[in-house]
Structure 1
Amino acid sequence: MRSAEQGRELKLAMQRLWLTGQVMPVGARLLVRHVFCNGEEQALEAVYSFMLPRDAALRRFEVEGEGFEAHSELRRVEEAVKAYEEGIEAGHLATLARAYRDGVVNLTLGNLRKGEQVTVTLEVLAGVELHDDGLRFRFPFALAPGYHPKARAAGGEIELPEQEFGDVILPKYMREADGLHDVGFDLALRIPGAVAEIGSPSHAVRVREENGARRVTLAPAADLPNRDVVIDVKFAEPNTQILGGTKRFAMAVPSTRFGQSASGPRKVAMVIDRSGSMRGQPMTQAVRAVEACLGALSKDDEFALVAFDDRIEMFRDMLVPATSESRDAARSFLQGIGARGGTELARGFSAGARLAAGGDVLVITDGQVMGTEEILAKARALNVRIHCLGIGSASQDRFLALLASATGGVSRFVTPQERVDVTAVDLFASIGRPVAVDVRASGAKFETQPPAAVFAGTPWVAFGSASGPAAVRVEWNSGNFTEAMPTDQPEAAE
C-alpha cells in the first residue's frame, strides 16, 4: 500500500487474515477474520481484494473495535455505496464489502484512525470438491492475475474496463509475499463416518480431535499469503452421506451406487492452455497430464489435441484413432509446446468441441481469466460436455467448477506440488462414460436441479427442503433407490 500523495510505502494496514469454520461433505461455512491497524499519522482508507472460493456466497460481515461492534446490512449497490460515502464524510469509521464479477470482492475500510485496530469478520458459504472416496477443500489466500483482452497492465497493476467490471480495485501483483499480512487457519471437519486420512499438499498442518470434530490447523504460527490452502480428506469407505437441518437436507450418493462405467469407444478432444501464465511448472504439469491421458486411451478410442493461447494450434484437424503411432506423434507435438500469449479460453474449448464431433472435451488450464460470465455462456451454447483439470497455486477452481457443471462435466484442481498424472488419469477414466444418465429425483423440493448424469468417482449431490421427514426417490435409466431425509435436526455449532 502506497501514499497517493508521496508515493512511499505506507505502514501495513491489514495485519492478519485468519480462517475458521466448518467443512462438511456438501460444503463449508467459513468465518474470515481480517485485522486492520493504522500505523500512519493520518486516517486511512484500506481496500482488500480477494477471490471467493468455489460455489461461494458472502452471507454477512461484522466490524469490531475498541468499544464498538457493528453488523452489516444487505443493500442494493447504489444504496450501500451512498451509505458508506456518507459515513466517511461524517468522519465515522465505515466498511463496505462489495462483490464484483468473477467472484472478486472488495472489502473497503474507511477512516481507520491512527493506532486504531479493527477486526472485520466475513461469513462465507462455500462448496468443496467432493469425490466418492473423499473431499478437497480449497480457500484462496492469494488472488492471481487474470487475462482479459481489454485489460491494461503497468507496473504490476491491472485495470479492467469499467463498463464491464465497474470500479473494482485489484491489488498490485507481486512476485514475493514478504512483508504482506500473515495468514492462518483453524478448521473443523464434520465428516460422518470413518476417516482414513487428512492432509494438505499446500501447507504443514496439525490435526486434532475436539468436540466431535477433527480440527485442522496451520502448523507454523503464521504463513505468507502466496498460495491457496488445500485440505484433503479421505473416507474409510464410500457411503451415502445425508445431512439434515431445519426443513432442509443435503445428500451425497457415491457414483458406485449407480453402477459401473460402460465400456465402449470414446471421442475426446484434449485442450491444453499454453498461455503466458502457464510458464514453468504449470506448463510441465499440463504436458504430463496430457501424456497420462494419451496412455489411458484404448485402441478403439479417437482423440484430438488442441493447444491455445491467443492463437490455436492443432495436432490434427480431425479426430484420429488412438493407435500407438498416433499417440507417439501426439507426444512429439506436445514437446514443441511452450507458454506464450494470452488466455483465450473460449476459443480453445470451442476448437476442441468442433473436433470432438459429439464427444467430450477435456480442458487443462490454470483458469486465470476474467470476464467468466461470457466464457460460460459460450460454453453452454456449444452443447458439449466440458471437463476441467485445473493447475496452480492460486485458485481458479471456482470458475473451472462452474464451467464443468454448466456443461454437464466434472472438474479437478491440483497444486504445483502434486502428481498431476494420477489426477488426470482418474478424471480421464470417467470422460465419455457416464455411470448413469437421465437421473431424476422426486419426493421433496430441490433448491437446484440435481445432476442428470453421474460419472465414476464423483458423487451425485442434491440439496432440498421438506416440511417434515421426506423420502427422496432417485431414478435413472437402469435403476432406482429411495432415501429417508431428516429435516428436523439443528444446525451444527462451530
Structure 2
Amino acid sequence: MVNCCGLVTAKNEPVPLKGVEVEVHVKGHVATVTSTLKYVNEEQSPIEAVFVFPLPGDAAVCHFGAKIGDAEVVAELQDKEKAREQYDDALSSGHQAFLLEESDKSPDVFRMNVGSLRPGESAAVSLVYIIELTVEADHALRFCLPAVLNPRYAPPETRLADVPQVTSVPAATVPYTLSLKVHLSSPQPITKVESKCPLEPLTFLNAEKTLAEASLSSGHKFNQDVELLFYYQDAHQPTAIVEAGSAKAEPGSLMGDPVVLLSLYPEFPASVTSSLATCGEFILVVDRSGSMDCTMHGGSGAQMRIDSARDTLLLLLKSLPMGCYFNIYGFGSHYESFFPKSVQYDQKTMDAALKKVQEMKADMGGTEILQPLKDIYSQPCLPGHPRQVFIFTDGEVWNTKLVLDLVKSNAHSHRYVRPALCPHLEYFDKCCVMRVVMLCVCRCFSFGIGEGASTALITGMAREGSGHAQFITGTERMQPKVMQSLRYALQPAVKDISIMWNLPEGLSVTTLSPPLNVIFQGQRALLYGQLKGQNSSDSEGSVTVKYNLAEQSVSNKLSFSLKPAGDTGLSLHRLGARALLRSMEQECGIGGPEQEGLKEKVLQLSLQSGVISSFTSFIGVLKGSGKAVQGPLLHRDVPTGHMMRMSCPMPQASRSAPRGMAYRKMCARSQAMPMMDACLVQSYPTTGFLVDVDMASVEREAQIDAEPQKDLLLQLIGLQKASGSWELDSSLITVFEKTEEEVAKETPSQADRAVFATILALIWLHGFKTEAQEEWEFLAMKASAWIRAQKVDYVPQCVQAGNALLGCEVQQEALGL
C-alpha cells in the first residue's frame, strides 16, 4: 500500500498556516525547542486545520497551547482516546479545540488539529519539546529541525485507517516561512555555529564566549530540514549534571526526585585502537525504492541518491579486509540479494559484486525494509565473524515500530553451532559429536539519506542494533560518514558492560536509560538516573563503567557534584522520562494481561512527567458562547514540504510498452492523477502491474545529454584489487594524468610493476587527496600491508621515483612503509 498525498491548490483549498516561529535554548548537550505556528482563516466558512508534521524521533514533547486574540489556552495531557472524544465534543458544542498526538506507527510523526477557526480569525499554536544533541565525527553538536515529511510506504497488510494521511507539496512551494533564533549556553567556550541555511552573524553575550545567539536570515522558506552545528571547546569531555526535582511533584516520584545526566566518552587503550579487526560478516542493505531516484539536495549539481549509494558501495567493497565475508541486499516492494548467502571476500567475489552494483537502479517500488531484515536475521552467523549490517535508506516507512522490534530481538540473540569437546552440551548429532550453541552479536549501522529521512527509524535501528546512526543531508557526502561507521564496525566488540554507582550513604539511583550495550571509541554514551533518598551535604558521587575489550578489562570513572545545577526547567527529568517511556513502549505487545499492565504504566508515567507518548495526547479547549458553529466545518490539510516526485497511471494500451524518456515525459504532463508519493508506485488491482514514474528522473533525462566525467578518486578506487594492490596499466596512468612513456622512464628497473603502481597510488592519495583522507584511509592501509607483505628492498627507490613522477614530496613513513 502507498500512502498517497494529494496536492493542495490555493484555488480549491487555501492553506491556513502562514508562518512558523522557533526559539531554541541550548544548554550544553540539551536543546529546548519552542515552535509557534500561526494560522489564519481567510475563507468564508469555519475550518478545521489538520497538520501532520515531523519531529525528532526522541523528542520529549511536553507543552502544547494556543492563543486566539487575547484568549489563551494551555492543553492538558490525557489518555489518547479520551482526548479525541473531548475534542469532538468541544467542536460540536461550538467551542474551539486543539489536539496534538503522536503517530501510533512512527514516533517522529505528529498530527495537530486546530478547530474550529472562524472566518477571518487567526490563531497562534505553540508546542515545546526537548531533545539531546547528537555528536558528529568532528565533535560538533548537531541540531536538526525537520521540515520535510515525505509520504511513507506502508506494507500491503497495513490498513489505510492506520496510516496518517499526509498532505504535502513540493518543498519549493511550501507557502509559509520560518523564523528561528538560537540561544546558546555552554560550560565551555563556543567557537562557531554552522548551517547549510543562511545565518545572521553569531553574537557573543559575554567575554568568556559561553553565551551566544544565532538566527536564520529573515524570510527563510521552511522547505528544507534546518541543520545547525554547534562547536564548543573540549566538547568531548565527560560531564555530569544534576537537576533538582519539582517542589510541586510527589516526593519519591520521578519528577520529585533529582535526576542526573551523565555524558560519557569512554577511552580505549592505545594497544586496541592501533589495530582493527580483519574478520567479520558485512551485510550491506541498500534501498532501491523509487524515492532513491531523487537528488540528495535541491541545489545545482546534486547527485542522485542511488548514484551516491553506488559510489559508497564501491568504496565499502574496496575497503573490506581480505578473508572477511559479505553480501549485498537491495530492497523495495520486494528484495533480492547478490549471493544466496554471505561469501568470502576475495578478488572473484568482489568483482562479481561490483558488476551488480553498477547495474543497481531505483526500480524496486516501495520501501519495504522489514522483509529483507527478516531474511538476514534468519541466517546463522559465521563462527569468528561478527555480523555487521549496514543499512542505507531514505527512511520513508510507516511500520517503524515493527522494524525496531525486529532489530532489537535479533541484536544479541543470533547463534551459531560449533563442535565442542565439552560435557555440558546443548545438542548431539547422531555420532555423539558434541555441539555447543554460541552467542553472536549482530550490530546495525544505519544511514538516513536526503531530506525527510525518518529519525525514529534511522536512530532506532542503530540504537537497538548496538551500532551507530548517520544522516546525510544537504551537500554532505555519504562516503566519509560511511567510512567512519566502518571504523566503528572494525573496532573490537565491547563485552560485559557494567555500570557501578558510588553515592554517599542515604542515596541510591534508579537508571532511566536503556541498558548500555554498545560503546565505540570517541562516541558519547548518555545515561539518565533518578537519585533517591536524602543527602545532607553537597558531596560528590561517581560512576564507573567497566567492560571487556579484546581480552582486556577496561574501566572509566567519572566523578560529579551532587549539587543541583541552576534552573533547567526540568528538561533532564523529561528526557529521562522520554527514555524510559520509549523502552516501555517497545515492550508493549498486542493483548495479554502483562502488556495491558505495562500500557497502564506508560500512561501513568506520561501523565506524571507531562511528556507525550503513543497512548496520550494533548487536548486544549477554548470555551466560547456555547452556540454551535453556523455552517459546515470545512476540513483543511496543511501541506508539509517534501522532495518532488510524481506517480502517474499508465494508459491501458501502453502497459507493455518500454518506459523510456518519452513515456516518462508523457506521464509527467498527464493531469489524470495529480498525486505525490514517496514510493513512486501505482498498483493496478486487476493485474498487479507496477509502474514507477518520477519527476526527478524526467528532469534528469531531459537535462543530461552525457554522463559527467568520473571523479579521479573514484576511478583510482575502482582500479584497486581486493588484496589492496594496483596494476600499472593504462587506466591507472590516466588517473595520474601522465603518459606511459613518462611512467616507464621513472620506473625503477628492479621494481615489480604492481609494487610500483601501488606505491604511486599511495603517493597520489597523500599528495592530491588529503582532504578526502577519511574516505581512502582503509584502502591505503590495505595497500601498505600488501606492499610490506612482498618483502622487497627497493621500496625507498620506488618512493623517490614516484615523487619525481607525480611532483610530490611524500615521505616513506607517511605511506605506512
TM-score, with structure 2 as normaliser = 0.55
CA deviation vs aligned residue, 1:94-133 (integer Å, no higher than 9, x gap):
1111222212211111121222221111011223322462
Aligned to 1:61, the other structure's residue is in SS state strand
Q: CA deviation at 1:45?
A: 0.9
1:156 equivalent in structure 2: none
The structure-2 alpha-carbon separation of the partners of 1:255 and 1:484, relative to structure 1 and needing over 3 Å to count, comes to: closer
Instruction: Indicate yes or no: 2:552 matched with 1:454.
Output: no
Is this contact kept in 2: 1:138–1:230, CA < 8 A? yes
Higher mean C-alpha deviation, range 415-424 or range 126-135: 126-135
**Aligned alpha-carbon RMSD (Å):** 2.8
Structure with the largest fraction of strand: 1
Q: CA deviation at 1:13?
A: 1.0
Code of the residue aligned with 2:560 in structure 1: it is M
1:241 equivalent in structure 2: 239
Counterpart Cα distance in 2 of 1:356 and 1:120 = 52
1:155 equivalent in structure 2: none
Counterpart Cα distance in 2 of 1:179 and 1:273 = 27
1:308 equivalent in structure 2: 331
Instruction: Indicate yes or no: 2:165 matched with 1:204.
Output: no
Counterpart Cα distance in 1 of 2:41 and 2:165 = 20
The structure-2 alpha-carbon separation of the partners of 1:90 and 1:177, relative to structure 1 and needing over 3 Å to count, comes to: farther
The structure-2 alpha-carbon separation of the partners of 1:355 and 1:458, relative to structure 1 and needing over 3 Å to count, comes to: farther
Is this contact kept in 2: 1:255–1:435, CA < 8 A? no
Instruction: Indicate yes or no: 2:76 matched with 1:73.
Output: yes
Q: CA deviation at 1:388?
A: 0.3
CA deviation vs aligned residue, 1:133-152 (integer Å, no higher than 9, x gap):
23222221121111112389
Counterpart Cα distance in 1 of 2:6 and 2:450 = 29
Code of the residue aligned with 1:331 in structure 2: it is L
Is this contact kept in 2: 1:131–1:459, CA < 8 A? no
Match of 1:323 among 321, 334, 346: 346
Match of 1:144 among 136, 139, 150: 150
Task: Mark the structure with the bigger radius of gyration.
Answer: 2
Aligned to 1:174, the other structure's residue is in SS state strand
Match of 2:188 among 182, 189, 193: 193
Instruction: Indicate yes or no: 2:290 matched with 1:276.
Output: yes
Higher mean C-alpha deviation, range 435-444 or range 401-410: 435-444
1:361 equivalent in structure 2: 389
CA deviation vs aligned residue, 1:298-319 (integer Å, no higher than 9, x gap):
2243222111112222222233
The structure-2 alpha-carbon separation of the partners of 1:213 and 1:379, relative to structure 1 and needing over 3 Å to count, comes to: same
Counterpart Cα distance in 2 of 1:213 and 1:335 = 50
CA deviation vs aligned residue, 1:342-394 (integer Å, no higher than 9, x gap):
11112223344438645111101111111111112222233322110111111
Question: Runs of 5+ in structure 1 lacking a partner?
Answer: 153-159
Counterpart Cα distance in 2 of 1:29 and 1:215 = 14
1:22 equivalent in structure 2: 25
Counterpart Cα distance in 1 of 2:88 and 2:160 = 23
2:223 equivalent in structure 1: 226
Is this contact kept in 2: 1:269–1:355, CA < 8 A? no
Match of 1:346 among 366, 370, 374: 370
Instruction: Indicate yes or no: 2:102 matched with 1:99.
Output: yes
Aligned to 1:60, the other structure's residue is in SS state strand
Aligned to 1:374, the other structure's residue is in SS state helix
2:141 equivalent in structure 1: 135
Instruction: Indicate yes or no: 2:326 matched with 1:332.
Output: no
TM-score, with structure 1 as normaliser = 0.89
Aligned to 2:328, the other structure's residue is in SS state strand
Counterpart Cα distance in 2 of 1:35 and 1:15 = 6
Counterpart Cα distance in 1 of 2:556 and 2:170 = 52
Counterpart Cα distance in 2 of 1:3 and 1:366 = 22
Counterpart Cα distance in 1 of 2:239 and 2:521 = 17
Aligned to 2:496, the other structure's residue is in SS state coil
Code of the residue aligned with 2:544 in structure 1: it is R
Counterpart Cα distance in 1 of 2:116 and 2:157 = 30
Instruction: Indicate yes or no: 2:131 matched with 1:126.
Output: yes
Aligned to 1:205, the other structure's residue is in SS state coil
Counterpart Cα distance in 1 of 2:100 and 2:292 = 31
Q: CA deviation at 1:435?
A: 6.1
Counterpart Cα distance in 2 of 1:3 and 1:45 = 18
Q: CA deviation at 1:450?
A: 4.0
1:157 equivalent in structure 2: none
Counterpart Cα distance in 2 of 1:34 and 1:145 = 22
Q: Which has the higher contact order (CA 8 A, sep 6+)?
A: 2
2:704 equivalent in structure 1: none
1:250 equivalent in structure 2: 261
The structure-2 alpha-carbon separation of the partners of 1:406 and 1:393, relative to structure 1 and needing over 3 Å to count, comes to: same
Match of 2:462 among 404, 416, 419: 404
Identical-residue share of aligned pairs (%): 21
Counterpart Cα distance in 2 of 1:194 and 1:291 = 41
Higher mean C-alpha deviation, range 69-78 or range 450-459: 450-459
Counterpart Cα distance in 2 of 1:398 and 1:226 = 20
Paired residues in the alignment total 480
Match of 2:54 among 45, 48, 51: 51
Code of the residue aligned with 2:220 in structure 1: it is D
CA deviation vs aligned residue, 1:270-296 (integer Å, no higher than 9, x gap):
111111111132212222222222232
Instruction: Indicate yes or no: 2:474 matched with 1:480.
Output: no
